[in-house]
Amino acid sequence: MTQTPVIPSEKLFAQVLDPTSRADPYPLYARLRQTPVSLQEDGTYVVSTYREINLLLHDPRISSDERKSAHPARTLDTPGGPNPPAFIFTDPPLHTLLRRQIMQQFTPQRIGGMQEHIEQAVNALLDARKQQHQFDLVQDFAYPLPVTIICRLLGVPTEDEPRFRGWSSALVRTLDPTESLSEAEKQHAVQSHTQLIAYMKQLSETRRAHPQDDLFSALVVGDSPDGRLSEPDLLATMVLLLIAGHETTVNLITNSMLALLRHPEVFERLRRNPDLAIATVEEMLRYDPPVQFRTRTTLADISIAGVSIPKGARVALLLASGSHDPARFVDPDRFWPEREENEHLGFGGSDHYCVGAPLARREGVVAVKALARRLQAPRLVTDPPPYRKNAALRGPEHLQIAFEHLNE
């Protein structure tokens, strides 16, 4: 008989980061929650309970600025010199100003206006599989969709989309602090970043001369009361919008289908009532969220849950664990779209709450609705599927789904 190894609590986070835990880190989170704030072997303070994560998300003594950290995440410098950090990696007052300028452009009208484009893109991706009885949901559907949509929102011409897809894939890999990239991969990422910045610069000049009805033109023309974004900040923001919304949305769609196919009774309820897609996507953001954790740095000594976190420490906020905390959610390990109360941490919280949440929800709902309606008798080919290495932006690398045929 094999015995389950007992992992000491200060090694649990290393175990979460280990690729062998990727398919199901939730039992490790349950063990971490026994100590709401725990010091790990590598010096990281892991925060795993809902209440404590929420307190720290709202605490001004916690910084998102990697420059204040002794363990900064990888940054990419283009040959022209260092780039300013994207606003996700800044603190007030700079963060407040940059975020406000972006939020002014993420209006309900602009995001609502994307509905038709999302439906068209979703159906076009599915129509391309009409002759097939099996496809890889990740490569053939979930991966291309968010790039198409973000390009449309920003105002990137359709013919340039394939280049964007390549740049985004190369850059997304650099976001994983646990992945060691080869020299060739690092060079490819730097090259992609340089090309993307050069492309955006060119596009900003074109849009300044001939503004169109898109987000990029609105930011370039800059009629906000706060003034216009500087060019380096504008470019850093564009890169952020492209990569922050890519892998995350891919994983939202993929995790949703994985959970639905593992829970045929929920899938059946969704088929009978397509409007359940809204609650299904919301439940996914809690039950198996694309962003599992975010890291921060303490700007002062902080006392929380009986632990003293010193100034300058690295803190990991385990959002996915908080969203499974039984002290906050009824039956937290159950996939249950109809749950009455679902204030999950899937989009973070407080000052850095996800800017793209309304767009991501819309993409997720349209995709899940269409997949449930159009795939006839779908089933998983491999369960569990293979996962990408990234522990923070966690999701399957492939998800093979077999089906009888595609409905119109």
CB of 3 to ligand HEM, least distance (A): 36
Q: How far apart are CA 353 and CA 172, in angstroms?
A: 20
Q: How far apart are CA 151 and CA 163, in angstroms?
A: 11
- Take residue 134 and report the two structure tokens written for it: 């099996």
Q: Per CB under 6 A, which of residues 349..408 are in contact with ligand HEM?
A: 352, 354-356, 359-360
> In which residue are the tokens 């039992």 written?
27
Does 297 bind ligand HEM (CB under 6 A)? Our answer is: no
Q: How far apart are CA 289 and CA 258, in angstroms?
A: 12
Does 294 bind ligand HEM (CB under 6 A)? Our answer is: yes
Does 143 bind ligand HEM (CB under 6 A)? Our answer is: no
DSSP string, 253-302: HHHHHHHHHH-HHHHHHHHH-TTHHHHHHHHHHHHS-SB--EEEEESS-E
Q: Looking at 133-141, 169-177, 346-354, 384-392, which segment touches ligand HEM (CB under 6 A)?
A: 346-354
Number of residues that bind ligand HEM (CB under 6 A): 25
Nearest to 199 by CA among 230, 228, 239: 239
CB of 144 to ligand HEM, least distance (A): 14
- Take residue 308 and report the two structure tokens written for it: 């003293």
By beta-carbon distance, which residue lies closest to ligand HEM?
A: 356
CA distances from 174 to 23, 154, 189, 208 (A): 21, 23, 7, 31
Does 144 bind ligand HEM (CB under 6 A)? Our answer is: no
CA distances from 384 to 57, 251, 293 (A): 32, 15, 22
Q: Is the dihedral of CA 250, 255, 256, 262 positive or negative?
A: positive
Taking CB under 6 A as the criterion, the residue among 21, 22, 33, 99 binding ligand HEM is: 99
Does 256 bind ligand HEM (CB under 6 A)? Our answer is: no
Q: Looking at 18-26, 220-228, 290-298, 368-376, which segment touches ligand HEM (CB under 6 A)?
A: 290-298
Taking CB under 6 A as the criterion, the residue among 21, 249, 255, 390 binding ligand HEM is: 249
Taking CB under 6 A as the criterion, the residue among 76, 156, 219, 240 binding ligand HEM is: 240
Does 64 bind ligand HEM (CB under 6 A)? Our answer is: yes
Q: Looking at 28-36, 175-183, 203-211, 237-245, which segment touches ligand HEM (CB under 6 A)?
A: 237-245
Cβ neighbourhood burial of 129 (10 Å; 0-12, 13-18, 19+): middle
DSSP string, 339-376: -S----STT--GGG--TTHHHHHHHHHHHHHHHHHHBS
CB of 257 to ligand HEM, least distance (A): 14
CB of 89 to ligand HEM, least distance (A): 8
Q: Looking at 40-48, 224-232, 344-352, 384-392, which segment touches ligand HEM (CB under 6 A)?
A: 344-352
Instruction: Please report, as ranges, the residues that interact with ligand HEM according to CB under 6 A.
Output: 64, 87-88, 99, 150, 240-241, 244-245, 248-249, 252, 289-291, 294, 346-348, 352, 354-356, 359-360
